[in-house]
Structures are given as C-alpha cells and as structure tokens.
C-alpha cells in the first residue's frame, strides 16, 4: 500500500466532483483481461478489491489502473518468420518479397498471440480533492501519463496541471549543496547526482557518501563551480520520510520511517483494517510533507488548467 514514488500534479482547490459520480465515471472503462488476439488491455480495478473503483477514507481517494500485456518477444516472431520464409523460398524458388514478409509477420503474430503469457501490473493514484493533489505512484512520467490518458477518456472534464514551483529543483538543490544545508525541516542524505550541461553529459554520482564531510562537500562545490548541476538529491523530511528529489520535481525512492509503519500495524487487527490504517497514515504524512516540499522550492506557481 505504501507508495514508492510520486509524480506530482495539481487539481483545482477544491476539485468539485462527488465521490459517487467519480466512481460512476470510472466504470466507463473497467479492466477486462486481454482477449486472445489483444496485445494489451487497460482498465480501472478496485484498489481494495471490494468492488468499488474508488477507495475513500477521510476525504482521501485511491484509484488503480491495471495493465495486462501479452508477452510475445520479437525474437520469437522473427525466428518463426525466418523459418517460414525459408520454406516459402524452397517451395516457390525465390525469396519472399517485402509485401509477403509483412503479411507473413502479421500472420505469425496473430497465430502466436493467443499462446503468449500475460503479465499484469497496477498503478495506484492518490487523489486529495479538497487540497487539489493528484499523485501517481510511478517511477517515470510516461507511466503516469498512461494513467492520466485513460482517466481523460472517462471524465467529461479533468482540469489537471503539472506542479510548478517558483524555484526549479535544480537551482534549489544547487543552493543547498553549495551551502551545505537543506531548508528547514529537511536534511541532506548520502546520495547525489550532478551532470554537466554539455553534449557529453558528464555525470558524477555519490552513493551512500556523507555529503556533509569536508572532502566530499569540497568536491561537490568544485563540480558546481565547473558547471555541473544536481539532478538528484537524497533528503529526509522531519525524520519521518526519506526520498530522492529529481530535477523534474519527481519524488522517488520514498521510504517511511519504520516507526510510522509500526504505528499503523498497532491499530489494525486484520487485512482490511491494515489497508485502512496504512492509507490513512500515508496520506496524512503526504498532506504535511508535500506543502513543505513546495515551500522549500519557493512556493507554487499556479497555472490555469
């Protein structure tokens, strides 16, 4: 249940849509397993597996997009096409042309697709309609866009925008590293990546290094002076959440203090209660954490949807 990444988006504050209406709109595109001739299928599933497409607790919502793919490697198709092309050549006395090969590839793919294994994955989204947060647990913007695109097909209106701050993450991280100190409420951890802006994209990475040590801090300042810019920086917020901030304003490698998870476990007696406790605690932390991240980056730039 605990999110590992956050792709951050904004909704109007508040986002005026009723929970029942939102659930009804999602039912326009529920998940159905891949048909035998389909390479992929997408749709909304019940996050808590209780039938509802929107899990709601304390005004916080959770939705989940399931994606199922048929695994048909191109190498398998290529090998079969090659064998059949050789058989055709032996039969007709000349190698098949481009059109024949294209038709042969399509036929082979169509025949092999129903026998291919399937793989299913789910991407979760936290929605805070009151405070306008829309956060996707995805490690890349592309994965988040997959969810957003599917949601746009369901909603009549979806006034979503990217989160933008007054100070770019790159500039802010450079200032923090140059000064050797994170903003109030945050501490700098032991991972950092810096990249040059030139064509070669020279990069320097520090992994599990104490960045506040004199030697490492001096090296980092020299890299900054030479024109390299920070693209990733590991931080801890309020001794409760550790994470990596990226140049694209992504929150990655989220890790919650063990004490927080233990607190949730103490209040739960069975699986459903554990799900509720985890979600309530996680979203409660996010509600305090994200505004402080935005504040550390100079505040939010509000844009029209």
Q: Does one domain contain both 140 and 24?
A: yes
pTM of the model: 0.84
Q: Does one domain contain both 160 and 15?
A: yes
Q: Does one domain contain both 40 and 158?
A: yes
Q: Does one domain contain both 67 and 197?
A: no
Which three-class secondary structure state does DSSP give residue 32?
Answer: coil
Whether 143 is in a domain gets the answer yes
Q: Does one domain contain both 122 and 204?
A: no
Whether 142 is in a domain gets the answer yes
Whether 1 is in a domain gets the answer no
Q: Does one domain contain both 157 and 58?
A: yes
Whether 2 is in a domain gets the answer no
Domain housing 181:
166-301
Q: Does one domain contain both 16 and 127?
A: yes
Q: Which residues pair with 164 in a beta bridge?
A: 301
Q: What is the CA radius of gyration of the chain?
A: 24
Whether 176 is in a domain gets the answer yes
Which three-class secondary structure state does DSSP give residue 165?
Answer: strand
Q: How many domains does the chain have?
A: 3
Contact present, 41 and 68 (Cβ < 8 Å): yes
Whether 286 is in a domain gets the answer yes
Q: Does one domain contain both 28 and 148?
A: yes
Which three-class secondary structure state does DSSP give residue 8?
Answer: strand
Whether 64 is in a domain gets the answer yes
DSSP letter for each residue of 174-199: HHHHHHT-PPTTEEEEEEEEEE-SST
Q: Does one domain contain both 203 and 297?
A: yes
Whether 287 is in a domain gets the answer yes
Boundary (domain end) residue, out of 164, 192, 227 = 164
Instruction: Select from 100, 192, 138 the least CA-distant residue to 4.
Output: 138
Residue 135's region, left for phi above 0, alpha for psi from -120 to 50, else beta, is beta
Q: Does one domain contain both 64 and 192?
A: no
Q: Does one domain contain both 109 and 121?
A: no
Q: What is the pLDDT along the chain (305 residues), one digit of tens a residue?
A: 799 999 999 999 899 999 999 999 999 999 998 877 788 899 999 999 888 999 999 999 999 999 998 877 788 778 877 888 888 888 888 888 888 888 878 887 777 777 777 788 999 999 999 999 999 999 999 999 999 999 999 998 999 999 999 999 999 999 999 998 999 999 999 999 999 987 778 899 999 988 888 888 899 999 999 999 999 999 999 999 999 999 999 999 999 987 677 776 766 667 788 899 899 999 999 999 999 999 999 999 976 65
Q: Does one domain contain both 54 and 92?
A: no
């Amino acid at each position: 249940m605990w999110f590992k990444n956050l792709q951050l988006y904004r909704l109007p504050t508040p986002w005026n849509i009723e929970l029942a209406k939102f659930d009804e709109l999602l039912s326009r595109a529920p998940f159905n397993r891949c048909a035998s001739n389909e390479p992929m299928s997408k749709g909304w599933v019940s996050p808590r597996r209780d039938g509802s497409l929107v899990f709601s607790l304390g005004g916080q919502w959770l939705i989940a997009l399931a994606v199922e793919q048929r695994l048909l490697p191109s190498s398998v198709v290529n090998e079969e096409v090659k064998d059949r092309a050789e058989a055709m050549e032996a039969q007709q006395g000349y190698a098949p042309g481009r059109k024949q090969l294209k038709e042969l590839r399509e036929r082979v793919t169509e025949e092999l697709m129903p026998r291919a294994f399937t793989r299913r994955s789910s991407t979760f989204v936290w929605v805070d309609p009151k405070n306008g947060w829309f956060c996707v647990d995805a490690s890349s913007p592309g994965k988040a866009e997959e969810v957003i695109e599917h949601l746009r097909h369901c909603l009549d209106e979806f006034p979503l925008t990217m989160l933008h701050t007054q100070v770019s993450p790159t500039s802010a991280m450079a200032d923090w590293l140059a000064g050797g100190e994170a903003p109030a409420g945050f501490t700098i951890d032991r991972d950092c990546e810096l990249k040059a802006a030139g064509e070669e994209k020279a990069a320097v990475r520090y992994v599990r290094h104490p960045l506040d040590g004199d030697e490492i801090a001096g090296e980092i300042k020299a890299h900054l002076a030479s024109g390299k810019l920070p693209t990733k920086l590991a931080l801890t917020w309020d001794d409760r959440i550790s994470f990596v901030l990226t140049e694209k304003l992504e929150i990655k490698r989220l890790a919650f203090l063990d004490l927080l998870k233990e607190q949730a476990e103490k209040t739960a007696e069975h699986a459903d209660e554990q799900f509720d406790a985890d979600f309530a605690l996680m979203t409660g932390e996010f509600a305090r954490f994200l505004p402080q991240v935005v504040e550390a980056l100079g505040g939010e730039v509000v844009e029209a949807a």
